[in-house]
Amino acid sequence: MMLSPLKAKSERKLAKQICKVVLDHFEKQYSKELGDAWSTVRDILTSPSCWQHAVLLNRFNYPFELEKDLHFKGYHTLFQGSLPYYPKSVKCYLSRIPHRMPSERHQIGSLKKYYLLNAASLLPVLALELRDGEKVLDLCAAPGGKSVALLQCASPGYLHCNEYDCLRLKWLRQTLESFIPQPLVNVIKVSELDGREMGDAQPETFDKVLVDAPCSNDRSWLFSSDSQKAASRISQRRKLPVLQKELLRSAIKALRPGGLLVYSTCTLSKAENQDVVRDILNSCSNIMPVDMKEMAMTCSQDFTFAPTGQECGLLVIPEKGKAWGPMYVAKLKKSWTI
């Protein structure tokens, strides 16, 4: 198929932005880990014109007219299948074709009507099965999209949003201010603690804990504008699983017995996904895997999954028309000690 001159120019411009250092590194690793699926994944990740954006409606300032417009444009809701713990209050709309709505501007005193996101990033939030009144920890919370999504699911008794990076912390505060009404802000605590210290600071405090860990952000790394910085990131990459496991061990301490923990990343890397979770399961006798097959079956029409070799872990990989992910999600439960 011939591209129009404008489209061809756009594609060439995008192609020039891809960081060859990162792409070469990913090529070696992911062609081994994903096999034949990697070529399709690579094509999507390196073609932003194929990327899709889901629209999460804000229940605290519900956009009824926008919802009608989305229906008219052919958008459909996530999880048209029946997931037992899918909250009716969550309305997330997807389109099968690449289309990005404009982002709303932050205005003090005015709540935004919708949040644009990669639809796969809702899966860790839904996996937590949040209920009204529960105490929840979002350990690595910035920029705040998953905290906002958690509050679309239920009204927690207490939500602790933690972010160690001071610049990202400002982003988190602004996101919460943009989407959450003042009365609800009173049940939210925002902190700037090193996540590895949270377990000792608040032992066995939370019913649910989300660890959306710092990781090799595959989409953004591929478009690194500074090749030296990219090379440095790659050389430091092997240290990430150590940090991820330290964050998980801290989260486990902060979780009450019987509570649920969800670990997520936006990388395809087995070292940061399955290997991290396997090491935690092998070294923490009070942590049990929770089967996620039902979630995978229910949303298979909207997401493509790569095999993980784990019943407790899902890996969303992008393909054309379902350009969501990468997103790894693992679900764990803390057992009662006898």
User: DSSP per residue over 83-106, as a string?
Assistant: -TT--TT--EEE-SS---PPPPPP
Q: What average pLDDT does range 237-247 have in this prediction?
A: 97
Give a yes or no: residue 6 inside a domain: no
What are the DSSP calls for 16-39, one per residue? HHS-HHHHHHHHHHHHHHHTTHHH
Q: What average pLDDT does range 72-94 have in this prediction?
A: 87
Mean pLDDT over the full length of the chain: 92
Q: Has 19 been labeled as part of a binding site?
A: no
Q: Has 143 been labeled as part of a binding site?
A: yes
Q: How far is CA 246 from CA 159, 194, 236, in A?
A: 22, 11, 16
56 touches 149 (CB < 8 A): yes
Give a yes or no: residue 8 inside a domain: no
Mean pLDDT is lowest, of 68-72, 217-221, 224-228, for 224-228
Place of tokens 């958008």: 75
Q: What angle do CA 170, 49, 319 make, to 5 degrees?
A: 95
Distance of CA 265 to the CA centre of its chain: 6
Percentage above 90 pLDDT, the chain: 80
Distance of CA 79 to the CA centre of its chain: 16
Give a yes or no: residue 11 inside a domain: no
pLDDT at residue 199, rounded to an integer? 98
Provide the whole-model pTM.
Answer: 0.93
Which CATH number covers residue 223? 3.40.50.150
Place of tokens 């005193």: 109
- How many distinct structural domains can be found in the chain? 1
Split at pLDDT 50, 70, 90, the class of 311 is very high
Q: What average pLDDT does range 165-172 have in this prediction?
A: 94
pLDDT at residue 295, rounded to an integer? 93
Q: Has 322 been labeled as part of a binding site?
A: no
Split at pLDDT 50, 70, 90, the class of 125 is very high
Q: Which domain holds residue 176?
A: 20-334
Beta strands at 255-265 and 327-334: parallel, antiparallel or unpaired: antiparallel
In this model, does residue 10 exceed pLDDT 50? no
pLDDT at residue 17, rounded to an integer? 85
Give a yes or no: residue 4 inside a domain: no
Which one of the listed residues 92, 161, 215, 266 is annotated catalytic? 266
In this model, does residue 243 exceed pLDDT 80? yes
Split at pLDDT 50, 70, 90, the class of 84 is confident
Mean pLDDT is lowest, of 38-52, 83-97, 197-211, 274-288, for 83-97
More confident residue, 279 or 6: 279
**Beta bridge pairs of residue 188:** 159
Q: What average pLDDT does range 207-219 have in this prediction?
A: 96
Phi and psi at residue 114, to the nearest 5°? -155, 160
H-only helix segments in 73-195: 122-127, 145-153, 166-179, 182-185
In this model, does residue 80 exceed pLDDT 90? no
More confident residue, 320 or 14: 320
Q: Which two tokens stand for residue 63?
A: 């956009």
In this model, does residue 7 exceed pLDDT 50? no
In this model, does residue 133 exceed pLDDT 80? yes
Q: How many CB atoms lie within 10 A of CB 204?
A: 13
Q: What average pLDDT does range 26-41 have in this prediction?
A: 97
The H-or-E segment that residue 41 falls in is helix 37-45
Give tens-digit pLDDT for 276-285: 999 999 999 9
Identify whether 266 is a catalytic site residue. yes
Q: Which of 249, 134, 240, 243 is nearest to 199 (CA)?
A: 249
Q: Has 146 been labeled as part of a binding site?
A: yes
Q: Has 230 been labeled as part of a binding site?
A: no
Q: Has 141 been labeled as part of a binding site?
A: yes
In this model, does residue 2 exceed pLDDT 50? no
Give a yes or no: residue 12 inside a domain: no
Reduced to 3 states, what is the DSSP secondary structure of residue 258?
A: strand
pLDDT at residue 13, rounded to an integer? 45
Mean pLDDT is lowest, of 136-140, 182-186, 301-305, for 182-186
DSSP state of 57: E
Place of tokens 């049990």: 288
